[in-house]
Structure 1
Amino acid sequence: MKHGQISTKELADFVRERAAIEENYAKAMVKLSKMATNGTQLGTFAPLWEVFRISSDKLALCHLELMKKLHDLIKEISRYGEEQGRVHKKSKEEVAGTLEAVQLLHGVAQLLPKSKESYHSKCQEYERLRKEGTSQKEIDKAELKSRKAGEALRRAVDKYNAARADFEQRMLDSAMRFQEVEEAHLRHMKGLIGSYSHSVEDTHVQIGQVHEEFKQNVENIGTEMLLRRFAESKGTGRERPGALDFDEYRLAPAQEGKYVCIQLGVPGAAEALPHPAPAFPRTQEEPEQSVPDPGLEP
Structure 2
Amino acid sequence: MKETLFKDNFWCTDLMSTAGYDSIIQHMNDGRKNCKEFEDFLKERAGIEEKYGKELIGLSRKKPCGQTELNTLKRALDVFKQQVDGVGQSHIQLAQTLREEAKKMEDFREKQKLHRKKIELLMDAIHKNRNLQYKKTLEAKRMYEQRCRDKDEAEQAVHRNANHVTPKQQEKLFVKLAQTKTALEDSDRGYQQGISALVKIQEEWQHEHTNACEFFEKQECERINYFRNALWLHVNQLSQQCVQSDEKYEEIRKSLEMCSVDKDIEFFVNFRKTGSMPPAPVVYENYYNSQRNSTPIRNLAQGPGFGRRPPIPVPANEPGDPEYSTVDGYSLIQHPMP
TM-score by length of 1: 0.62
User: Aligned partners of 2:125 and 2:104: how far apart in 1?
Assistant: 37
1:144 aligns with 2:170: no
Shift in alpha-carbon separation, 1:153–1:79, aligned structure 2, 3 A = closer
User: Aligned partners of 1:4 and 1:116: how far apart in 2?
Assistant: 43
Shift in alpha-carbon separation, 1:94–1:27, aligned structure 2, 3 A = closer
> Where does structure 1 lack aligned partners over 5 or more consecutive residues?
242-261, 265-298
Q: Which one has a bigger Cα radius of gyration?
A: 2
Say how many residue pairs are matched. Answer: 239
> Where does structure 2 lack aligned partners over 5 or more consecutive residues?
1-27, 162-169, 278-308, 312-338
* Cα contact 1:36–1:49 (8 A) shared by 2: no
- Deviation of 1:55 (Å): 3.7
Provide the identity percentage.
16
- Which residue does 1:34 correspond to in 2? 61
* Cα contact 1:119–1:146 (8 A) shared by 2: yes
- Which residue does 2:152 correspond to in 1? 127
Q: Secondary structure at the match of 2:97?
A: helix
User: Aligned partners of 1:104 and 1:148: how far apart in 2?
Assistant: 24
Q: Deviations over 1:140-162 (max 9, x none)?
A: 43333333323322221121111
1:62 aligns with 2:100: no
Shift in alpha-carbon separation, 1:80–1:232, aligned structure 2, 3 A = farther
1:184 aligns with 2:222: yes
- Which residue does 1:106 correspond to in 2? 131
User: Aligned partners of 1:218 and 1:46: how far apart in 2?
Assistant: 7
* Cα contact 1:29–1:59 (8 A) shared by 2: yes
Return the letter of the residue paired with 1:102.
Answer: H
User: Aligned partners of 2:87 and 2:180: how far apart in 1?
Assistant: 95
Higher RCO (C-alpha 8 Å, min separation 6): 2
1:53 aligns with 2:81: yes
Shift in alpha-carbon separation, 1:192–1:112, aligned structure 2, 3 A = same
* Cα contact 1:12–1:78 (8 A) shared by 2: yes
- Which residue does 2:285 correspond to in 1? none
- Which residue does 2:196 correspond to in 1? 158
Shift in alpha-carbon separation, 1:70–1:22, aligned structure 2, 3 A = same
- Which residue does 1:17 correspond to in 2? 44
Return the letter of the residue paired with 1:156.
Answer: G
- Which residue does 1:296 correspond to in 2? none
User: Aligned partners of 1:114 and 1:215: how far apart in 2?
Assistant: 87
